[in-house]
Chains A and B, each alone.
Chain A
Amino acid sequence: MPEASPPPELPPARLPRRLRATVGALARAVCDPPDDVAPATYERLADDVERFLASLPAAARLGLVGALWAFEASAALVPSSRLRTYSRLSPRRAAAHFGRCWESRALHPLAKILKMVVAFAWFELPEVKAAMGYHPERWIAEASRRRLAAWATEVRRGEAAVLEPDPLRRPAAPAPTEVADALAGR
């Protein structure tokens, strides 16, 4: 049987530079990473968010991009920001602004959705997982090896069994009575 390669992913939905910076600034506020995280990590984070956006239906994608723009601009409305938008705030001010939105009844849904997107992408970064000591792929490899070492024959037999003919046994038409019984509440 010819084997196809896995379908490629959709091309990422490109964000403008400014919004890539918004994503990075949000990650600093939401995930509180150590200070020495390399700039390349934030670039990879933005790449990941772009890939996620591509998997959304058009309306949701537009909504999320709109939410990022709204959040980026919202910081400029705070007097102490001196008209700087979110990605241009210092990390301390950026965290404070995120906190204000999180606590605000009106802005909480916006802050929450952005937190969800950014936190998911952040903790998917290989370097972040490695720093946590989380190496699921090693466990998968080890557990899979153990499985085949112990059960290879049973596994092969079980996999083959699913293709064996076993036509449905037709009962001697009890059905009309059953329907009548059901209708009569019996």
Chain B
Amino acid sequence: MPSLAAEPIRTRADWPDAIPGATTRRRAFRGDVVELGCDVVVIGSGAGGAVVAAELAEGGLDVIVLEEGGHHRTEDFGADAGAAVRRLYRDGGAQMALGSPPITFAEGRCVGGSTVVNGGMSWRTPDKILERWRREDQVAGTGDMERYFERVERFISARHQDPWTVGRDNELLREGAERKGWAVIPNIRNQLHCAGTNNCAFGCPTGAKRSTLVSYVPRAQAFGARVLADCRVDRVLLEGKRAVGVAGRALGPDGRPGPRVVVRARGVVVAAGAVQTPALLLRSGVRSPSGAIGHGLTLHPNAKVTAIFDEPVEGWKGVHQAYQVREFQDEGYLMAAVNIPPSMLAMTLPHWGPALREVMAAYDRAVIAGILVEDTTTGRVRQVGGRPLVTYALSDLDLQRLVRGTSLLCELLFEAGARRIVLPFEGVADLHGPDEVRRLFARPIPREAMEVVTVHVMGTARMGEDRRRHVCDSFGKVHDADGLWVSDASLFPSPIGVNPMETIMALATRNAERLLEGWR
């Protein structure tokens, strides 16, 4: 068994004095500096970072994980969505990719990263995507992913739901799909006897969802990794083209900026997510021969509809996304029922005043369902004034696919018995029957009227073997740099059309394996 005396996760209350192995250098100007040393420092503790950290630590390396967000535990999670978005999400969950329409996106910022707030869908990378990566991006080893998927699935407990956790909203979605004769499958989720509390987006209050907070992070600790929360990395330290550590800042106990932190390491793994990773590389002065750091952002645009039924649905009772409609996967659409709390629904509905009140009064009879599109265009992350600036211009083609996908979803929901559907398009009247679905195509929907959101950001430090096109090699090592790796959603050379967490984790596992092989 691993060491029972695993180091606890250190938080802002511990900086700087209780950080193991730290020495504080007193400075007359610009504050004290806390210094640490290790073999590999990992930035971020989400799907990519926690997996790399655990594998490297088990492989015998001395690992430090630096996480900008706080450490919140299972007992801290509950139904207060307002508090959860403030504590667990970056910028209160209100980030935006600029463009027409602007696209709201969300990322976790806490120990466990976005895996703490995600829906838990755990899907392997589709074969056609792996094949595309091999063919178009010369990504090596795509034929040998099986064992990485298996390993990840074991540690995160990826499996089907217990049937009694499926709520009425999901059954209605399934019934609608089956009546249409469309393919619909039960989702695989990373859960250990999920209770169906429908609280995944605000932290799992039972610990059933095997986010990295309760899986890979404790595993990393068990093999000796030090996990330091409330510490934001500002720069990767470079000597020439070699990464030699990182510099950042910890939060003080009062939540204000605390001591400066320097971690010296022989290896630096950046796993800060597909928005923060390129921003960090750019502000550190990392140069890629590809010139592509921050380019290639894809984000699986989503749109949601709210369907009102006559029968009680109580969509908050039962796990969300128990099923996925896969009928149109080849065309690049997925559909699922995704209950959200009243606050989030009211915020995003295109109504206000009495019209909003009327829809909200039917909240307990609502099925909220969404469509995810595999996008065909890319956006960009720039670095402006120390913060990332995200731009993304939804293509005409994807816009049409969002409208077509939405109309298909409406057909399904009317088939299931919906009486009224509120669309994600401002200025377009609600639909009251299947005949009205045609209206969606009758006149074009202006871009700015569309409410588009996403929770999947990918592809801003792409992997592949062509250093003129790709930022990283097939195993996450930054081309033309030494001692510097990326291991998160930034690596994807293209969108994958399914939920990305398991792909990120499997890639992180093989990146760690490769790093261990080359470690001297």
A interface, CB within 8 angstroms of B: 1-4, 6-11, 29-33, 48, 51-52, 54-57, 60, 95, 98-99, 102, 115-117, 119-124, 128-129, 132-134, 136-137, 139-140, 143-144, 146-147, 150-151, 154-155, 158-159, 162-171, 173-175, 178-179, 181-183, 185
Shortest B69–chain A CB gap in Å is 9
Q: A136: shortest Cβ distance to chain B, in Å? A: 4
Of the listed residues A33, A121, A144, the one surrounded by the most CB atoms of chain B closer than 10 A to its CB is A144
Chain A residues near B134 (CB-CB < 8 A): 182
Segment from B19-27, B206-214, B295-303, B392-400 that makes contact with A: B206-214
**Which residues of the other chain, B, contact A99 by a CB distance below 8 angstroms?**
353
Q: Decide: A163 and B353 in contact? CB cutoff 8 A.
A: no
Are B512's CB and A168's CB within 8 A? yes
Looking at the assembled complex, report how far the CB atom of B317 sits from the nearest CB atom of chain A, in whole angstroms: 5
Residues of B within 8 Å of A137, CB to CB, are 78-79
Partner of A174, one of B71, B144, B192, B198: B144
Identify which of A3, A32, A169 contacts B356 (C-beta below 8 A): A32
What residues of chain A lie closer than 8 Å to B222, measured between beta carbons? 163
State which of A9, A115, A143, A159 has its C-beta within 8 Å of the C-beta of B207. A159
The contact of B353 among A6, A32, A48, by CB within 8 Å, is: A32
Q: Is the CB of A119 within 8 A of B346?
A: yes
Nearest-Cβ distance from residue B2 to partner chain A, whole angstroms? 6
Which 3 A-B pairs rank lowest in CB-CB distance, beginning with the nearest?
Answer: A55-B92, A147-B195, A136-B79
The stretch of B83-91, B177-185, B275-283, B412-420 that contacts the partner chain: B83-91
- Are the C-beta atoms of A56 and B94 separated by less than 8 Å? yes
Q: Which B residues are in CB contact (< 8 Å) with A146? A: 195
The interface centre, meaning the residue of A147, A158, A171, A178 with most chain B CB atoms within 10 A of its CB, is A147
A-B contact count (CB 8 A): 225
Enumerate 14 A-B pairs (CB-CB under 8 Å) in ascending A order. Answer: A2-B8, A32-B354, A32-B357, A60-B94, A132-B342, A132-B363, A136-B341, A144-B206, A155-B192, A158-B192, A162-B214, A164-B2, A167-B58, A167-B59
Cβ-closest chain B residue relative to A10: B255
Cβ distance B519 to chain A, nearest Cβ, rounded Å = 12
Please tell me if the beta carbons of A133 and B364 are within 8 angstroms of each other in the complex. yes
B414 to chain A, nearest CB (A): 25
Of chain A, the residue at the smallest CB distance from B205 is: A140
Q: Which residues of A contact B317 (CB under 8 A)?
A: 139, 143
Assess whether A147 is in contact with B348, with CB atoms less than 8 Å apart. Answer: no
Interface residues of B in 1-34 (CB under 8 A from A): 1-2, 6, 8-9, 11-14
**Which stretch in B135-143, B321-329, B484-492 binds the other chain?**
B135-143
The reply to whether the CB of B441 lies closer than 8 angstroms to some CB of chain A is no
Kindly identify which residue among A9, A116, A122, A178 contacts B87, using a CB–CB cutoff of 8 Å. Answer: A9
Residue of B nearest to A158 (CB): B192
B364's contact among A95, A134, A147, A167, by CB below 8 Å, is which?
A134
Within the assembled complex, what's the spacing in Å between the Cα atoms of A117 and B357? 16
Query: Of the candidates B79, B86, B215, B346, which one forms a contact with A55 in the assembled complex, judged by CB atoms under 8 Å apart?
Result: B86
Is the beta-carbon distance between A132 and B199 smaller than 8 angstroms? no
Measured between beta carbons, the chain A residues less than 8 angstroms from B468 are: none
> A31 is contacted by which of B142, B210, B344, B357 (Cβ under 8 Å)?
B357
Task: Report A181 CB to chain B, min CB distance, Å.
Answer: 7
Known: A132-B363, A144-B206, A162-B219. A119 touches B2 (CB 8 A): no
A182 near B192 with CB under 8 A, answer: no
CA distance A164 to B327 in the complex (A): 40
- Given known pairs A30-B356, A32-B353, A164-B1, the reply for A140 and B91 (CB within 8 Å) is no
Contact assessment for B78 and A140 in the assembled complex, using a CB-CB cutoff below 8 Å: yes
Given A136-B316, A182-B140, A123–B354 Cβ distance below 8 Å?
no
Contact A119 B356 (CB under 8 A): yes
Quick check: B342 and A7 within 8 Å, CB to CB? Answer: no
A29 close to B352 (CB less than 8 A): yes
State whether B138 touches A57 (Cβ < 8 A): no
Known: A56-B91, A57-B387, A183-B138. A132 touches B205 (CB 8 A): no
Chain B residues positioned under 8 Å from A181 (CB to CB): 140
Q: Point out the residues of chain B lying under 8 angstroms from A52, CB to CB.
A: 82, 86, 92
Q: Are B72 and A7 in contact (CB under 8 A)?
A: yes
- Contact call A8/B255, Cβ cutoff below 8 A: yes
The answer, among A9, A140, A154, for a CB contact under 8 Å with B86, is A9
Is A7 touching B11 in the complex (CB atoms < 8 A)? yes
Using Cβ atoms and an 8 Å threshold, which residues of chain A touch B199? 136, 140
Give bound CA distance, A104 to B142, whole Å: 52
Tell me if B68 is interfacial: C-beta within 8 Å of chain A.
Answer: no
